[in-house]
Every structure is written in structure tokens, then in C-alpha cells.
Structure 1
Amino acid sequence: MSRKLGIVDLSRRSLLRGAAAAGVAALAGQAAAQTAVDELINAKRRGNWDDQFDAQASRAATAIVTNTPILSQATLMNMQQAISQYQMIVANGGWPQVLPTVALRLGATDASVQALRQRLMIAGDLPQDAGMSNSYDSYVEGAVKRFQARHGLPEDGVLGEFTIKALNISADTRLNQLNINMARLQDQLTKPLEQRYLLVNIPAAALEVVENDQIALRNTAIVGSISRKSPLVSSKVSDIILNPYWTAPRSIVEKDIVPLMRKDPTYLTRNAIRLIDGNGNEVAPESIDWFAPKAPNLTFRQDPGKINAMSSTKINFPSPDAVYMHDTPTQGLFNKLMRFESSGCVRIQNVRDVVVWVLKNTPGWSRQEIERVIASRVNTPISVADEIGVHWVYITAWSPMGGVVQFRDDIYEQDGDAQLALQTNIGQEQVAGSVDEDFLPQ
């Protein structure tokens, strides 16, 4: 019996040794194969067969998203590092201009790609070991996407008009922009911040929802146009109004509504806008002479509902400019690159998420209850239980994390250099029915 067990043990040991030897041989074979592949990929004369695909291209697209808010001491310290970095870049001669002769996208070949590579390397978007060639490969595409993300541009990896213009802003101009915004940040941070606050950065057309010095939510916004700028604000949320009324200001009544009524007498009815006299009585639109020299001295008030100019929600706060934040029925505007379409007020994408966050400490207002009230179309004001700050700032350059510098267009031309206002001179479409900027307080 013991002899049989010895034979079995010996056979088992032999089998394991054989398996181990086979495993080592397999690993050696894999290593040799990988070495051969690496040698082929890294060969100087390999040609450009891999220019259009590189599984490691994601290295260039280093994550630049952080939960650090713009108004934070961490951002201030990162800004100081960024200024030192850009001072060194300027001292070393800056970066080259990128002047392509063909459309630059993945797979393109052009002499200007070398200048593009150099430009991206200097700013830290492209690894230094990515090489210098005329090929717009996946490394370059990843770096361009990173550059676009840092400049608030669509991350498509293609050198379009705005990407080329942003690339060709000189290093010393960017350094000056950093210094100007450093002063703005320092000024903002001399004031105490609430534990919870809503930050609208106007040049970025974006909202940061901040709690305990961390970004809880990010939301796309639409802010004031160049001719009707959104003001700087430092206030606190007073109340939320679900299903708000909209009262048309006199300027919109005279310039827009009256001419529309002359062309289409059903305009007010179709848009659920009622006429109210000084005694609170409703006046029939057909009883008004719309061709009279002056617009009727009546209140033009739009009922709550999906077509209401503020849609489901209005976020109120004290402001000398009578501005506020709100929802909008024209959601497609949030997909635009240039979101400078209002005359002061700020529209917020996914505003209901923000309202849930604002009301989370206000008893009785769960998400389910908020949605139920919105669905009812009943005008409902809600007093906010806790202190929620509101800050609208103008920051065109900031550094939320080390090695990452964010830049935005100086849309209101506050930075002292016309070339930083890339979008300012471009005509902006006015979307019919989308004006909300001059809204009177409810």
C-alpha cells in the first residue's frame, strides 16, 4: 500500500514539474513574442502603419477633472505654480504658432503637425517622448482633446477654428491672463464662503454646486450676452419657486410682444400669456388695439407650464440687478459652444438636480415631492431652511489641480487683450421665445 502511494506521489510530482516547465516555456514564449512586437512597434523604420491607431493614446488624455472648486485655497496654490510654469515657458521663448495647410485630424499628414506637437508638449498636453513627425497620430489626437477640455472647447480631437485660435494665443498673453485672474481669485477668497454655495463662473458658462469645499454637482449654464452681461453676484438663496409665473418686462412687451400680436392675434393665447389690469382682473387680448401708438398699460403674465420661459423652476436670491437662476424650455441651447444668450439671468441645465440639493435640509421636499408638485403645474414657493450662498464670478483662467490650467474666452473683454475674446465678435443667433434676461421679479 505504501509502495503504491509512493508511486502515485512520484507521478504527481513529475506531472507538476512538467506543468511548471510547460508554464515557464509558455511565459518565455509570450515574453519573446511581446519583445518582438515591441521591437517592431519601436523600430525607427516601421513606417506609419500605426499612425491611425495606438492603444496607449489615452496616456495623452490625462484626466483633468477634479472636485476642487474654483474658489478654494488649493486652486490659489495651483495658480501660483501655474504662473511659475508659464513664466518659465515665456523665458524659454514661448511656443510656436500652428499654421496648418490642410485640415488636421487623426490620420492627416502635414508639416505643421511638428509645430503642433511642440506646442502641445510645451503646455504639458503631449508627453515629451511622443516624438516629432508630420503624422497626426492618436497621441496627438489625445493631446488635442486634452487641450480642448482645458479651454472649454468640444473634445473632438479636430483642429477647428476656435482650437487653432486658442493654440495660437502667445505664452506671454496667457501668463498675463493668469496674473489678472490670480488677483481676482485672491479678492474673492478674502470674503468668507458658506459651507454650501452655488458658483456661476460666467466666462465658463457653468455652475459649480459646492459643499464642504468639494464640488458636489457640475451643471452647464447659459449666461448673459455680450450686450446684456450677467453681473457679479454675492448673495444667498431666499426661496425656490416651482412652476413659476413669468411677468414680461415692458421692454419685451413693446419690442417683441406687440409686434407679434399685430402679425398673429393668437400669440398670447398660444403662449399662455394673460393680460392683467391694475385691479388684478384679466383682460381679453381681442379687446386691445394692438396698432395703437403705445403698448397697453397691462401686466403680461405667463402661466406656469412646459412652455413657460422659466419652465419648471426659479431660484431666487436678493440682487440689485433683479437676476436669478432658472430652468428653460429650450434645452437644446445647452449643447451650443457659445452659451452667452441671456441678458443677465442664468439658465441651468438639469436644474432639478440643483433644487434637490438646495432643499435637502428643508423638511418635506424630497425629489419625489418636488417632481409631484412640478407635474401639478401649481405655482409653489418654497422657503429654503439653511444658508446657501450664491456667487457669480468672472474667472477666465484657473488651475484646479497641479499641472492643469483651465482657460476660457474673455467674453466680456475684461482681461485687457482683444485676442482673448475669441467669440466676442462672432454674431450670435437669437432664439425666438428664449429671452429671459429682462424678466421682472415675480
Structure 2
Amino acid sequence: MRQHIYFLYMITKITNNKALLFVATIALAFITVIPGCKKSKSDLGKEMADATGNKTFKDMTNEGFAEAFKKAMTDNKSLLTYPDVIKSYYAENDYEPVLVLNHLKNEDLQTLSTYLDNSTQHGINPQIFRADSIKALLARIKDKKAVKDVNTAYTTLAKLELLTANSLIRYSNALQYGLISPRKIYQRYYTETKRPDSTSMKSVFAVKELKSYLDSIQPKSAQYKALQKALTDKVQAPGMTPEESERYFAVNLERLRWKNKPDAKKYVIVNIPDYRLDVMENGKSALNMKVCVGEGRNMDKEVSLVEYDESDKIDRPFSRETPQLGSLIHSVQVNPVWNIPKSIASKEIMVQAANDPYYLDNENIDVYHNGQKVDDPETIDWGSASKNEYEFKQRPGDGNALGKIKFLFKNGSSVYLHDTPAKNAFNQNMRAVSHGCVRVEQPQQLAEALFGNGDKYKMIVDKMNNPSSTPTDIALPNKVPVYLTYVTCWVDDSGKIQFRPDVYGLDVVLYGHMKKLLSV
């Protein structure tokens, strides 16, 4: 290549002839694409004969295999999870069976087969990865009696390469990102969750040693390993059958594989089924308290993981369920105003006002029409009033549903953390009782954990102890991440496995989708 370039350089140097310069430029462009500068193809027939010990493969050609592989992609498209990614990669790489060529002879493909079989240890059915099909093809390709002619050699190699590529990508994605995208199965899931892209999927083709790679992608968190051990030891949850317990572990292991975990040094996390809030600092809980969350669809345990059908994978959230989300707490409002959501206003406030003309005044609720405060709301016929015509706001005070303080963070569901005058609910075991927001047991302690014991915190305490009819907004100097999550099974700091009821039925939805993958 260097000789060609030097030759053209000398031509242009010794002459000013524009025609010769043009010819030289065209020639240089041609040289950059001639085969001599491109990596040559493998001797496919020879390499496969060496790897299998079967001379039949010697009759294969690269061109012949390329045609067989294209046909295999068409014939087996229904078996592929990522047909576009696979088609794109092989089209860019001359349809070479890179995975079989690189990993058959050193038994790496057998290692892959073993890892696929062992996916039960992750709560995953191996058939999702076509484990049996790959095992059968591995046995067949090394069987001289099974591969007696070149056409059989082509079809066997093409299908093995194709299924290996799909299964390796799928297994890699499952362990690093999870089998399921939570955003696709849950209607009220708003937490940023990283998913694999075509670049990350294609990276598996460059792996040199499969075992090292497969070891590197195994989830390694202490929580994951603890649940994995409980699954493989067949730990049984109280009141559950062995099969239901196994499914409980499976869905919670799947949640741990999702790339949606907090990475900040300090954050607030609420586990909805546990009715608990933690302020986490440097990986440890600095503050823990009870919370009340939104009412759920499955508080009577009508659905469970014991039985399920096709309809169970459909998410049907109850209107008051607290959403799963991630955001940033940016400020608090002391002596808050409650901007009553339209759903609550139409179903509860207007109904109460229709039954009692003094209800709104007694509850310190102001009514607004087209942005203007209504002076005499008791004169309105609330029984026939339009549900969307009026807005309602509850003034600060002892009876305010938000208590003395609310913690604000951006989200599309109009939810926040807040105090409450209804303290008795914290004495209940089942605390899915709110309209969707999260009521916190110790709001003042939460404010201190967020603000520190400085001037702003002292202002908060003063305002909370001296109620005012005017709300006070106080910004956090540094925004703090907040996560509303849903986890029904985990291992606590003492090593004890904790189980919580599936109050929103989200375990059932997730397991339904995991089960569905077996038919895809």
C-alpha cells in the first residue's frame, strides 16, 4: 500500500499537468478499496474440518455458507429475539460464522451451553435462551454420522451460529439489564432505566474467551447473591407454596438486574410494599421511618403468584396507586397549600359539598373558577356542577391534608412526600391508604436529614411550630435524589429474608411477562 501511495506522490511532484494529477487522485481512491487492504476471509472449510474432525466440512466455501446463512435467517426468524441486530452484524462481516469459528474448538460453546442451563439459578427458564436447541446442534455438528454431506454441514453450521448469536446476546442482556423493560409493562413507571442498544449487543462478537466474559457479567451485588442463594436453597416464604416462593424470588431477582439503581452518595428511597422510607448515605440507612402510600388494586390478595393466566400480564393500576419514579427533591413548603387533584375533587370534594353546604368552609377549601376565587361557593349546585369547571385548594392549617410540610420533586403524577394530620394510620400494618402521595411519619426528622442542622432547617422548625395561613417555600441548597420503588422480597442487614404482600399486583404482572417469553 505504501509503495502505491509513494508512486502517486512522485507522479504529482514531477509534473504540474492537471490531467495527471486528476488521474493520480482517482487511482489513489481506487487503491484504498482494493482487496489487498482488507482483512482476508477465513478458510472456512479447513477451519471447520479441523474443529470438528469431519472432512465433510472441507467442501464448504465462504460464499456457499453466506447463502446458507441468509436462508437460515429467513427460515428461523421466528426464533430470533434480535433479528435486525444479527442481520446487520453479519451483513457487515461477510456472513462469517465468527462465534463457531472462534469458540467451537476450545469448547467455549459448550461452556456457553452450561451457563444457559444454569440460568435457573437466576430465576430464569433456560428455554428462553433455546438452551436445548444449542446443545443438540453442538452434538450434531461434531457427529460424523449426522453430517455426511456439505448441504447438511451448511445448514447445521448456519443454525448453530444463528442461535448461538441470538442466545448469547439475549443472555448477556438479561444478566446486565434484565429480561423485561419495566417501562413497557408498567403503566406507572417513571424511573430512568438503562436498556441495551445495538452497539452493546454487537460487542459479544468480539469476545475472545467466553468463560471469562460470562463470569464478568454475572450480577455481583450482595443483595442479588443473597436472593440467588435463597432461590437455589429452595427457601420457602411463610404461607407460600414452594412454587410461589420460587416465583417471588424470580421476579425480585429480575428487578435487581434492572439498571435503575441509585448511585448518589445520598438519596431518599421509599419501598411501596414495605411502607418504609430510608435516607441513604454512603450505602447505609441514616434515617428510617414508616410511610403511608396509595391504595392498591390487590390489598385483598385477590391475585397471587400461585396461579396466573394470560390476562395477568396486563397492568391495570388502581387510580390511587403510588407510581414508581425517580426524581430530585428540590424544596419544601411549610404550612402548605393543597392543590386538590381533579380526580379527588370530582369524586370526593364535590360529592361532600353537594351533601353539606358548609363542608368547603369547614375544611378550609377555596374554590376557583377560571383562575378567580369564588366568594360564595355554597351557592353553587355541586350536584349538577361540571367536574372540570372548578379548581379546589385547601388552605394551610391543622386540618390540611398535607399536614405542616410537603417535600417537592418534579414528576408527571402530582405526587410528593408530606406530613399528615392522620397519625393513627402509622400504627396499622397495612398502610396503603393514601390518594397516591406518600405520607411520612417523621417529617421534621426528614427535613433535618435533607437540610442539615442549619439556618434553613431552623426556619422550617419555627414555621412548623408556629402555623401560618401563608405557605413558605424553602429551596434545598443541594437537590437530593428520591426513588419510589416496588420490592417485595429482599435480605435485610441481619441476613434475614423479608417478604411483603404484592399490594399492587405488580409481581403478578412481571411474572406474567417473564412466562410469556417462553412462547416467543
CA deviation after TM superposition for structure 1 residue 194, in Å:
1.4
Aligned to 1:411: 503
CA deviation after TM superposition for structure 1 residue 78, in Å:
4.1
CA distance in 2, matches of 1:315, 1:169: 38
CA distance in 2, matches of 1:335, 1:418: 31
Whichever residue aligns with residue 460 of structure 2, its letter is: I
CA deviation after TM superposition for structure 1 residue 282, in Å:
4.1
CA distance in 2, matches of 1:83, 1:290: 56
Q: Percent identity?
A: 29
* Within-5 A mapping of 1:340-379: 340-360=432-452, 364-366=455-457, 368-374=458-464, 375-377=466-468, 378-379=470-471
CA distance in 1, matches of 2:220, 2:336: 37
- Is it true that 1:240 corresponds to 2:385 in the alignment? no
Which of 321, 326, 336 matches 2:418? 326
- Is it true that 1:203 corresponds to 2:294 in the alignment? no
Which of 389, 395, 401 matches 1:303? 395
CA deviation after TM superposition for structure 1 residue 316, in Å:
0.8
CA distance in 2, matches of 1:169, 1:217: 32
Aligned to 1:77: 222
Contact 1:76–1:186 (CA<8 Å) still a contact in 2?
Answer: no
Aligned to 2:375: 283
Contact 1:235–1:318 (CA<8 Å) still a contact in 2?
Answer: yes
CA distance in 1, matches of 2:366, 2:251: 48
CA deviation after TM superposition for structure 1 residue 263, in Å:
2.3
Aligned to 2:245: 174
Secondary structure of 1:169 counterpart? coil
Could you tell me which runs of 5 or more consecutive residues in structure 1 were left unpaired when the two chains were aligned: 1-73, 95-165, 420-442
Aligned to 1:5: none
* Range with greater deviation from structure 2 (349-358 or 280-289): 280-289
CA distance in 2, matches of 1:414, 1:303: 36
* Within-5 A mapping of 1:181-200: 181-188=252-259, 191-200=261-270
CA distance in 2, matches of 1:376, 1:75: 50
Aligned to 1:256: 348
CA distance in 1, matches of 2:388, 2:510: 43
Rate the CA distance shift 1:326–1:416 in 2: closer, same or farther, 3 A.
same
Could you tell me which runs of 5 or more consecutive residues in structure 2 were left unpaired when the two chains were aligned: 1-218, 297-317, 512-520
Which of 285, 290, 306 matches 1:220? 290
CA distance in 1, matches of 2:433, 2:416: 15
Structure 1 residues 330-360: Cα deviation after superposition (integer angstroms, max 9, x where no partner): 1111111211122321111111110111111
Contact 1:324–1:345 (CA<8 Å) still a contact in 2?
Answer: yes
Bigger-Rg structure (1/2) = 2
TM-score norm. by structure 2 comes to 0.48
Whichever residue aligns with residue 373 of structure 1, its letter is: K
- Is it true that 1:394 corresponds to 2:463 in the alignment? no
Contact 1:196–1:387 (CA<8 Å) still a contact in 2?
Answer: no
CA distance in 2, matches of 1:203, 1:237: 22
Contact 1:222–1:334 (CA<8 Å) still a contact in 2?
Answer: yes
Whichever residue aligns with residue 346 of structure 1, its letter is: V
Rate the CA distance shift 1:291–1:320 in 2: closer, same or farther, 3 A.
closer
CA distance in 1, matches of 2:506, 2:346: 32
CA distance in 1, matches of 2:395, 2:288: 30
TM-score norm. by structure 1 comes to 0.56
CA distance in 1, matches of 2:461, 2:220: 36
CA deviation after TM superposition for structure 1 residue 217, in Å:
0.8
Structure 1 residues 409-435: Cα deviation after superposition (integer angstroms, max 9, x where no partner): 11122223999xxxxxxxxxxxxxxxx
* Within-5 A mapping of 1:123-162: none
CA deviation after TM superposition for structure 1 residue 399, in Å:
1.1
Contact 1:208–1:218 (CA<8 Å) still a contact in 2?
Answer: yes
Secondary structure of 1:198 counterpart? strand
Rate the CA distance shift 1:83–1:404 in 2: closer, same or farther, 3 A.
same
* Range with greater deviation from structure 2 (339-348 or 200-209): 339-348
Whichever residue aligns with residue 384 of structure 2, its letter is: A
Secondary structure of 1:385 counterpart? strand
Rate the CA distance shift 1:212–1:380 in 2: closer, same or farther, 3 A.
same
Normalized per residue, the structure richer in helix is: 2
Number of residue pairs matched by the alignment: 270
Rate the CA distance shift 1:265–1:398 in 2: closer, same or farther, 3 A.
same
Structure ranking higher on relative contact order (CA contacts 8 Å, 6+ apart): 1
Contact 2:491–2:498 (CA<8 Å) still a contact in 1?
Answer: yes
